């Protein structure tokens, strides 16, 4: 058996190349091969000019590579290369399907290390200058997505927290707003929508829960929706 390489699951952060961690950037500069997500920017890939690049992008609502194929590619790369980077948007451990890749790699005896990244919710809060928690107003936050596994097609109940952050929320945001209204949330509840967070074409929208219930215009990139009293616009914003 040939000696197996080591795989690093690296969080690329929300998009901007200078928001990756120092460790993540160092590993990219040392990598023999980089398997990267669709949301990884060209500027980020400029950090690894020496590496072989393999696109394994998955985009909501679009035809994309099956996770089983990605797992197989990672295993194949581990037999050919010493240092393999699996570059994931945001943080690998949050909606990044890290569990499936870890299971495949560990089951084959491949050494794996996780390098965290800035998750989009935190970056979106920073971009909008809107804290997700606020003393006396909000002390709990929930990150959720409407995407479900094939064997769990039904939508789970919405979290009962002060601030809600919906990942990949563009098409599902209206349904979320309607469910919250039905649960008794006030129509004027503040909502902040961030599209293409941290990128040059970033767009920030401020609206209310009742506005959101009517849906969002089609976007041109990943959309994150933040809902809660803590998101009320400050006097000098």
Q: In what order do the strands lie in the sheet with 203-208?
A: 141-145, 163-167, 223-227, 190-195, 203-208
Work out the number of other CB atoms within 10 angstroms of the CB of residue 76: 13
Tell me phi and psi for residue 69, to 5 degrees: -70, -40
233: annotated active-site residue: no
Which listed residue (37, 88, 91, 162) is catalytic?
37
Work out the number of other CB atoms within 10 angstroms of the CB of residue 91: 24
Which listed residue (6, 58, 134, 211) is catalytic?
58
CA distances from 187 to 39, 191, 201, 212 (A): 33, 10, 29, 9
According to DSSP H, which parts of the chain are helical?
22-30, 42-45, 67-80, 98-107, 120-127, 173-182, 209-212
Q: Closest Cα to residue 221, out of 122, 115, 124?
A: 124
37: annotated active-site residue: yes
Positions marked active-site:
37, 58
């Amino acid at each position: 058996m040939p000696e197996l390489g080591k795989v690093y699951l690296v969080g690329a952060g929300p998009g901007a190349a200078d928001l990756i961690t120092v460790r993540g950037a160092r590993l990219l500069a040392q990598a023999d091969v980089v398997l990267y997500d669709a949301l990884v920017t060209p500027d980020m890939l400029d950090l690894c000019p020496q590496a072989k690049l393999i696109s394994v992008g998955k985009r909501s609502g679009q035809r994309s590579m099956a996770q089983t194929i990605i797992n197989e590619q990672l295993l194949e790369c581990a037999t050919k290369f010493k240092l393999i980077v699996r570059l994931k948007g945001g943080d690998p451990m949050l909606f990044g399907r890290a569990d499936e890749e870890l299971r495949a790699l560990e089951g084959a005896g491949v050494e794996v290390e996780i390098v965290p990244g800035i998750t989009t919710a935190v970056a979106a809060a920073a971009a909008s200058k809107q804290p997700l928690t606020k003393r006396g107003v909000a002390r709990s936050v929930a990150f959720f997505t409407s995407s479900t596994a094939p064997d769990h097609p039904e939508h789970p109940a919405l979290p009962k927290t002060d601030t809600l952050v919906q990942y990949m929320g563009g098409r599902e945001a209206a349904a979320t707003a309607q469910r919250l209204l039905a649960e008794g949330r006030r129509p004027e509840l503040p909502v902040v929508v961030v599209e293409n967070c941290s990128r040059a074409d970033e767009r920030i929208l401020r609206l209310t829960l009742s506005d959101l219930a009517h849906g969002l215009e089609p976007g041109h990139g990943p959309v994150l929706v933040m809902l809660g009293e803590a998101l009320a616009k400050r006097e000098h914003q």
